[in-house]
Structure formats: C-alpha cells, structure tokens
Amino acid sequence: MVVPHDPTGARLARHRLADELAGVVPPTFLTDLVAVLAELVGNAVRHADALPGGVVRVAWRLRQTPDGQFVRLRVTDGGAAVGPLVRAASPDAVDGRGLHIVSGLASRWGVDRDGLGQSVWAEFDPAATPHTDFVVAG
C-alpha cells in the first residue's frame, strides 16, 4: 500500500494491517505487528525523504511455516543522509526509543538500500531466536 509521507501515514498503515490480519493472527501477535509497523512508518516520515509523489510504500507478507506464522513488514521511503540507528535515549527523552521497540518485538530487522531510496524491514519468525542482530544491505 502507499501512504502519505506525513503523520497520517502511520495511522493509515496501522489500520489497514489490523483490518487485514484481524482473525488471521493471534491478537497479541497482531498488536506487536501494528506497533512495529507504526514505528517504521513514523521513522520514515520523521527522518527520511518521501518517494516521488510524497508517499511511503508499506508492505507485509504473511506465510505459514511448520513453526508458525512468519511475517515480514517492509517500509520503503526516499532515504536519508543517515540510515536508521538505534539511539541511546535518556529516561527524560520524549523520543529515540522506536528502534528499541522494533528490536524488542521483531526477530530481526534491517535496511536495504538502492538507488531509489531505502527499505526498512522487520521479520517475525517463529523459528528464530528472538531479537537477533540488525542487518544493513546495499
């Protein structure tokens, strides 16, 4: 799906994901997926350029595996001068914890870059040891 490169984009993506996967995945799992997607879209809006047309592209893939449901979320934007970084946030900071949330909920996450921008993805793999390392490709 395509959402606006503004704060409404995260809300639209959250609602669409929740609507499409409600009843398909367990509610607690869906809550984690929605939280991570909101963080990824929010980060794209705050820290990266838009794709042509002032948009961000959002995608997800669900497949059944022998171990359970595997989900991959992907948010593509126009890129930024500095890629996504897990930051140290002080207890009083009002932001800076988004990628900590992504790291804590997803099995792994990373960034793919090409000449058109970047895609930040997060995987929820029932066969993986939770909270594996961040990956940068490209």
**pLDDT at position 137 over 90:** no
> What is the reported pLDDT for 19?
97
CA 51 to CA 34: how far, in whole Å?
A: 22
> What is the reported pLDDT for 39?
94
CA 27 to CA 120: how far, in whole Å?
A: 24
Encoding tokens for residue 48?
Answer: 């990266």
Write out the DSSP string of 79-107.
B-SS---PPP--TT-SS--HHHHHHHHSS
**pLDDT at position 4 over 60:** yes
The backbone torsions φ and ψ at residue 85, rounded to the nearest 5 degrees and listed phi first, read -135, 140
* Coil/strand/helix, residue 135: strand
* Coil/strand/helix, residue 119: strand
pLDDT tens for each residue of 60-77: 999 999 999 999 999 999
Domains of the chain are 2-137 (3.30.565.10)
**pLDDT at position 33 over 80:** yes
> What is the reported pLDDT for 114?
82
> What is the reported pLDDT for 23?
94
